[in-house]
Structure 1
Amino acid sequence: MSERVIAPKNRGFLFLDSHPSGCARLVDEMWRSVPDPVAAGGEGPVALIIGSSAGYGLAATIAGLARVGIRGIGVCFEKAPGRRTGTAGWYRTAAAARLARQHGRDMVFLNGDAFSDTMKEQVAGLLAERFGGRLDFLIYSVAAPRRTDPDNGHVYASVLKPIGPPSTTRTLVFDDHGVPEVKDVTTSPAEGDDIEQTVAVMGGTDWKRWITYLGDRSLLAEGFATAALSYIGSPLTAGIYRQGTIGAAKSHLESTARVLDERLGRTLGGRAVTSVNAAAVTQSSTAIPGIALYVGLLRGVLGDTMVSPTGQLVELWDQLTGAAPLVLDEESRVRLDTWELDPAVQRAVAERWGAATSDTVAELADLDWFSDEVRRLYGFSVPGIDYTAAVDTEVPWPS
């Protein structure tokens, strides 16, 4: 047993350690927030969640377990405890597995490279041996800096750059004392093969490879449905996001969905869609220039009416399972972001965006909420946790 007091140490929005008890409490809160959970036990549909340990992928896992009673497999890539604590996703996965067991859900979590054919082979074996050789749902939620192509070993690297001229956006930072500062940052444009590299990592190539791999092994059930999680966002952040290299990857993801939808509909009576989620504080989103300021201002406008990732994924599961109608936009996308992109909301956020300075931002944005949300990503600022007490960091991976 390795017990110690864990204090938050960070470089900007990146924390060096995670708190096991705080991470576990957060997963408990997510589970309890799911409305009308299904009864414990039972033979629920078989689901595969790729990217199950963080952000919207974690929300998909918890919402699926609690709301639908899924069983199946979660795939993620997390670091074990060692000299430092384990990653937050390591502890969140342990907590999710514990809750799944308590509620009679047969859920297996695999830790490794989701891009690799080795992981695909491992998942296929588990589906065949443990889950009756059928998969009903696949949720794809992967945000990664690099991808190794299994066919040729080439390593692609994603970049966050605008396409065209340099992009200047407003962003929010905090100094060492937690004092907020609003400043402009300029990002140089994509060059060379930056777009192709980013699309190769963050586009639909690997999602399609998963569907093809499992389909070729007759592991997709009749009526199989799959969703890849995406984001469009506000015009305020479009220059660096939707109109940038990441946006090109999201467009590729959406075009892949249309190809897969046609194939699955023809062969299995199935569906493939992208789900456009709304803004949230995640480990991925805090790395995007401008997003911290934008989300803080959005919270300042909407307060508690913002829909959490878990709440959004409950809605997605309801649509995928037929509990609610599957509603698609003109690009065949599920839209869970309509509350964020409501014109009145965007006008209010834009007004605050233009007025925000280092002196005024505390009045315009909910900075206390934003700071707590960032800390909660790593298990800190969680009510009910005694951060002065020693905690065991050697939490095992769920067997």
Structure 2
Amino acid sequence: MSETVITPRSRGFLFLDSHPAGCQQLVADMWQAVPTPAQPPADDGPVALVIGSSAGYGLAATIAGLARVGIRGIGVCFEKEPGRRTGTAGWYRTAATAELARQHGRDMVFLNGDAFSDAMKTEVADLLEKRYGGRLDYLIYSVAAPRRTDPDTGHTYASVLKPIGESYRTKTLVFDSTANPEVKEVETEPADGDDIEQTTAVMGGTDWERWIDQLAERNLLADGFTTAALSYIGSSLTAAIYRQGTIGAAKAHLEATARTLNERLDRLVGGRAVTSVNGAAVTQSSTAIPGIALYVGLLRGVLGTDMVPPIDQLTDLWDQLTGARPLTLDDEGRVRLDTWELDPAVQAAVTQRWTAATTDTITDLADLDWFHSEVQRLYGFAVPGIDYTAPVATDIPWPTAT
């Protein structure tokens, strides 16, 4: 197995390579951050399917489910294998998660492919029948993708990040080639044509519902089956481009789908469907949204270590879904894991800093060291305990089921 020294190279917030050892350590750190349950998980824990298991909140859901609940089951993601360049960070995170699951006696299988396709849905259903007794207890849906091909029509939809109604001008945070921060203003043109419909077709609830439909047709939903789709609302500072924009329209569709699915599942298996509104975090998806990087840096500047990381949020979600503590829903039937972020005092402080933010003042207002390190950690860099001057093997194989 060849080894090489990997140095971080990026274009903005997008890194060209990822670091296997850093990704492995990051996964191990997340696992260690999950509180030990009062009762050790049983060897035959609940069967769960996590769609979007390799990154962000989906990765946190997978690790928290394994460590806290003792889930068995399947993770689905879409990652690129090592070749001319390193594999994607999600490739290495998945390998590390699979190894930790094995060490802790958890039977977790990871499938790499297009979660939107019917072929993947069939593969998952077949595996549930053959390996897990034809029973699924939980489905966590956490998919952020630029495109989706409709299996019925073959038409490919593309999502866009645009405001609705009028153009949107906002502050945003960028770093130059030497990591010096700059606060700029950017303007985004409004959605036109079928932008809203296209984005909703990708990021709304259509595929989530299709997963439930096909699993139900195969009689794979256990009594009391529960499914949760992970979502975000965020601050009024970013609402025009997010919650009130094209992505927000897709999230509204996702929440409407949850209400429809909840009624169906209650009748079918005494089950339920919810959306889980998570708090802000640095993810590969969020850094692409204008203004979000600035907002999250300022939020961290206000909260410091009181900012709740995804692994803690998803541990909370699993506790609620499994009955370890009461499931608490808002008036729209959503689990709210973002109350710490949207606390009025916190938002007032972030708004004050947002107004004052310029290139000259940003280092005093936002926690940029933390933010920059978080971006690097998405790709396995800036992880404490890793010697980045040492050669590391990059051709890590995809984990195979035993």
Asked whether the two chains share a fold, i.e. TM above 0.5, the reply is: yes
CA positional deviation for 1:204: 0.1
- 1:131 matched to which residue of 2? 132
CA distance in 2, matches of 1:322, 1:53: 25
Question: For 1:56, what is the secondary structure of its paired residue?
Answer: helix
CA distance in 1, matches of 2:239, 2:185: 15
Kindly provide the CA deviation profile for residues 295-327 of structure 1, in whole angstroms up to 9, marking residues without a partner as x.
Answer: 000000000011110000001001100111111
Q: Does 1:43 align with 2:44?
A: yes
When structure 1 is superposed on structure 2, of 31-40 and 223-232 the one drifting more is 31-40
CA distance in 2, matches of 1:246, 1:345: 24
Q: Sequence identity of aligned pairs in percent? A: 77
| Counterpart code for 2:360 | D
Summarize the Cα distance change of 1:41–1:385 in structure 2 as closer, same or farther, 3 Å threshold.
farther
Q: Does 1:30 align with 2:30?
A: yes
CA distance in 2, matches of 1:175, 1:116: 39
| Maintained 8 Å contact 2:41/2:69 | no
- 2:16 matched to which residue of 1? 16
CA positional deviation for 1:266: 1.0
- 2:282 matched to which residue of 1? 281
| Counterpart code for 2:292 | I
Return 5+ residue gaps in structure 2 as ranges.
Answer: none
Question: For 1:310, what is the secondary structure of its paired residue?
Answer: helix
| Maintained 8 Å contact 1:48/1:139 | yes
Question: For 1:72, what is the secondary structure of its paired residue?
Answer: strand
Q: Does 1:167 align with 2:168?
A: yes
| Counterpart code for 1:350 | T
Kindly provide the CA deviation profile for residues 181-213 of structure 1, in whole angstroms up to 9, marking residues without a partner as x.
Answer: 001110000000000000000000000000000
Summarize the Cα distance change of 1:273–1:40 in structure 2 as closer, same or farther, 3 Å threshold.
closer
TM-score w.r.t. the length of structure 2 is: 0.99
CA distance in 2, matches of 1:383, 1:275: 30
- 2:197 matched to which residue of 1? 196
Kindly provide the CA deviation profile for residues 141-175 of structure 1, in whole angstroms up to 9, marking residues without a partner as x.
Answer: 00000000000100000000000000111100011
CA positional deviation for 1:2: 2.1
Question: For 1:105, what is the secondary structure of its paired residue?
Answer: coil
CA distance in 1, matches of 2:23, 2:197: 36
CA positional deviation for 1:23: 0.2
In the TM superposition, what are the counterparts of 1:67-78 in structure 2 within 5 Å? 67-78=68-79
CA positional deviation for 1:39: 3.5
In the TM superposition, what are the counterparts of 1:1-399 in structure 2 within 5 Å? 1-37=1-37, 39=40, 42-399=43-400
| Counterpart code for 1:8 | P
CA distance in 1, matches of 2:41, 2:165: 53
CA distance in 1, matches of 2:291, 2:103: 41
CA positional deviation for 1:267: 1.2
CA distance in 1, matches of 2:196, 2:314: 29
| Maintained 8 Å contact 1:40/1:104 | no
Kindly provide the CA deviation profile for residues 231-276 of structure 1, in whole angstroms up to 9, marking residues without a partner as x.
Answer: 0000000010000000000000000000000000111110100000
Question: For 2:110, what is the secondary structure of its paired residue?
Answer: strand
Q: How many residues align?
A: 399
CA distance in 2, matches of 1:211, 1:169: 38
CA distance in 2, matches of 1:40, 1:81: 34
| Maintained 8 Å contact 1:278/1:336 | yes
CA positional deviation for 1:178: 1.1
CA distance in 2, matches of 1:324, 1:187: 43
CA positional deviation for 1:40: 6.6
CA distance in 2, matches of 1:16, 1:39: 41
| Maintained 8 Å contact 2:41/2:68 | no
| Maintained 8 Å contact 1:34/1:67 | yes
| Maintained 8 Å contact 2:101/2:108 | yes
Q: Which runs of 4+ in 1 moved over 6 A?
A: none
Return 5+ residue gaps in structure 1 as ranges.
Answer: none
| Maintained 8 Å contact 2:98/2:109 | yes
| Maintained 8 Å contact 1:52/1:61 | yes
When structure 1 is superposed on structure 2, of 38-47 and 163-172 the one drifting more is 38-47
Kindly provide the CA deviation profile for residues 50-95 of structure 1, in whole angstroms up to 9, marking residues without a partner as x.
Answer: 0000000000000000000000000000000000000000000000
CA distance in 1, matches of 2:15, 2:94: 18
| Maintained 8 Å contact 1:40/1:105 | no
Question: For 1:327, what is the secondary structure of its paired residue?
Answer: coil
CA distance in 2, matches of 1:239, 1:123: 38
TM-score w.r.t. the length of structure 1 is: 0.99
CA distance in 2, matches of 1:108, 1:41: 18
Question: For 1:210, what is the secondary structure of its paired residue?
Answer: helix
CA distance in 1, matches of 2:196, 2:48: 32
| Maintained 8 Å contact 1:23/1:88 | yes
CA distance in 2, matches of 1:382, 1:181: 24
CA RMSD of aligned residues (A): 0.7
| Maintained 8 Å contact 1:41/1:104 | no
